[in-house]
Amino acid sequence: MKDFFYAIQDLFVNVLFAPLDALRALELKNWFAANTFSWIFILIGFVAFVYWMLQLKTFNDNNEEDKSVSAHSYL
């Protein structure tokens, strides 16, 4: 049973967290390169947010949502 938990530890430490260790080592060499990944993820999140808001506006402009008081059971 002890080997099972050591296998889980080995999986996480040596395999799944290896990219994060590489990113940590990259930060010590070049701070801008390490933060480029953060900016890329922020940009992806911003684009997804804008897309979602435009989709909500499209549905709102088409009056597809029932906005009456009894439309939802919790109201």
Q: What is the pLDDT of residues 26-75, one digit of tens each?
A: 989 999 988 998 899 999 999 999 999 999 999 888 887 767 777 666 65
- Residues 26 and 34 sit within 8 Å (Cβ to Cβ): yes
Q: Which domain holds residue 36?
A: 2-61
**Count of domains for the chain:** 1
In a domain, 38, yes or no: yes
In a domain, 36, yes or no: yes
Look up residue 21 and give its amino acid: D
Q: Is 64 helix (H, G, I), strand (E, B) or coil?
A: coil
In a domain, 32, yes or no: yes
Residue 75 is predicted with a pLDDT of 55
In a domain, 67, yes or no: no
- Residues 33 and 26 sit within 8 Å (Cβ to Cβ): yes
What is the C-alpha separation between 31 and 37, in angstroms, rounded? 11
In a domain, 75, yes or no: no
How far is the CA of 36 from the CAs of 30, 39, 43, in angstroms? Answer: 10, 5, 10
